Structure 1
Amino acid sequence: MRVAIAGAGAVGRSTAAELVEAGHEVLLIERDAGNVLRTGLERANWLIADACELASLEEARLQDYQVVIAATGDDKANLVVSLLAKTEFAVGRVVARVNDPRNEWLFDTGWGVDRAVSTPRIMAAMVEEAVGVGDLVRLLTLRTGQTNLVGVTLPGETTLAGRPVRTLRLPADAALVAILRGGRVIAPRQDDPLEPGDELLFVSTVDVETRLQEALRLTPPAQDTGH
């Protein structure tokens, strides 16, 4: 796969190194020649240019790349690179780095971004993941914040133990996509029984997460306050 990366700072170089090691063809576009001198990425291709300029991307022949990663330390630059990559060069997959979480709402398909990566959000998800058994945890944000990959580990005393998957009453916009059990990844079938300690992975829209928790009996039932 051919991947172009705008920005050869620490993030861009580290990403390039991983991709090169995996056998991909990588082009780094960097306007600061000093960053080129500091790297040991001899197996990557380089273009010393400003990735925000259309002429630079034309010189790079961006249309020949399957993926573009906007990895600079400037959110404005990453948005410009993303928009140009998608609208001018029809790149199939555009990934953009979000430096300031307050700007995350901008990184959507309107700016040509297929996938926004926010380091603070990822770190927060890792912290949340350690909350404990029985908690619904957001693991990954999809579709620029509208849909999440969420997970929950069933506690030892779960009332779902032994019940088949088909008995789960999930909201319309939530789907069970995998069960992790003892180092195994199980593609869930309707008759598969649930077990204590299972980690259930769901794709869910943000607005039904509370209902998903209720379906898994992770929140106490609402008390009847009627007389």
Structure 2
Amino acid sequence: MTADRPAAIHSDHHADVSGGWLRPAVFGAMDGLVTNIALIAGVGGGGVSSRNIVLTGVAGLVAGAISMGLGEYTSVRTQNEQVAAEVAKERRELERFPEAEARELVSLWTKRGLPRHLAEQVADILKRNPDEALRVHAREELGVDPDERPSPWVAAGSSFVCFSVGALVPLATYLVGFDALWLALAVGGVGLFVAGALVARFTNRSWLGSGLRQLLLGAAAAAATYAIGSLIGVTGPL
């Protein structure tokens, strides 16, 4: 294969945007980082002991990871079930009113600039292939591909694992024996920047801008919870 052949002929020149793992993975990692950074800043600002900071952070990690995993599973499965129901409705309409459905396609395509005679020819050909007709109608009318639905298990697993990893980052310094709040928050800030920079790899945006954006958002959350913790002023063991 020559180096100057067009990229479009390669089957893998695009990223997989339909697998259902990237959004929950990114959301989980960012949520884990921000949640535990904010929790640690809040209870640390209130003056609690290092032991209680670790307890709060571990509880936040476990509860948040379970919640994220269950939430992603439920939301993706619900979305898939809704798509399946709409596709089944479209299938019934194609079986009962094939001519009317063909006219809908012709109308959609002509509005986009396709010549009417060509649109009618394509719609007529599709009527002879019910399975392909269903796929085309689902894409054109519903905006979904019935053959490319994300897995709820993949979404749940991605979210669970990435939330856990993200939430572990600001806890790491306490777990290895350091008890300085500023150090935990600094490590969490580095984690936010790195996570934001890594996300830029999938979006072709500036890694520096993406990293700084996540760092600033996390810092704002930590500042808010630290201020609240300081105002409440809890001291000593909880």
TM-score by length of 1: 0.24
Q: Which gives a bigger RCO, structure 1 or 2 (Cα 8 Å, sep 6+)? A: 2
User: Which has a greater percent of helix?
Assistant: 2
User: Which has a greater percent of strand?
Assistant: 1
TM-score by length of 2: 0.23
For the pair shown, which has the larger CA radius of gyration, 1 or 2?
2
